[in-house]
Amino acid sequence: MQIRELNLKELQDIFDVLQQLRTELSYQEFEDLIYDMRHMEYKMFGIVQDEKLITYAGVAIQTNLYHKRHLFVYDFVTDKDERNKGYGKKMLEYLEDYSRIAMCENIVLSSSFSKEQAHQFYNAQGFIKKSFVFLKKIGTTG
């Protein structure tokens, strides 16, 4: 097992795991968004075993007034066939070390209301529910 930063040559492998979380995302949209997020230094980390991506985390170091300098976890998913084997915990431990080295004060993530099992996992890893995220869709005219 290896935890490492992934590169753009591995986008298909990343997408194969990520689509289990982001089911509405097409590969083309995913690729376009990955390239668009480069300005914010979005990093792609994975747990790889026997050349297979098992767990994926997409993160960026951010700074704002309420979380100060923090690591924001945008995407976090373990392949459905590999869940409940400790890979998620290992990735969060890795991200915690990465955050310390980057002098972050917090790790922040958002999770949908329907992911109760994920919420229990995050609580067990020391995360607390801090706030609600509100979203308003803005339609485009065509």
The predicted pLDDT at position 118 comes to 85
100 within domain boundaries: yes
119 within domain boundaries: yes
68 within domain boundaries: yes
Residues of the chain with pLDDT under 70: 113-114, 141-142
Bridge partners of 31, per DSSP, are none
* Count of domains forming the chain: 1
In terms of residue numbers, what domain contains 42? 2-124
137 within domain boundaries: no
String of DSSP letters for 74-116: EEEEE-GGGTTSSHHHHHHHHHHHHHHHTT-SEEEE---TT-H
97 within domain boundaries: yes
136 within domain boundaries: no
CATH code: domain of residue 94 = 3.40.630.30
87 within domain boundaries: yes
Burial grade of 124 (CB within 10 A; 0-12, 13-18, 19 or more): exposed
The predicted pLDDT at position 114 comes to 61
The predicted pLDDT at position 53 comes to 98
104 within domain boundaries: yes
The predicted pLDDT at position 113 comes to 59
- What global pTM score does this model have? 0.89
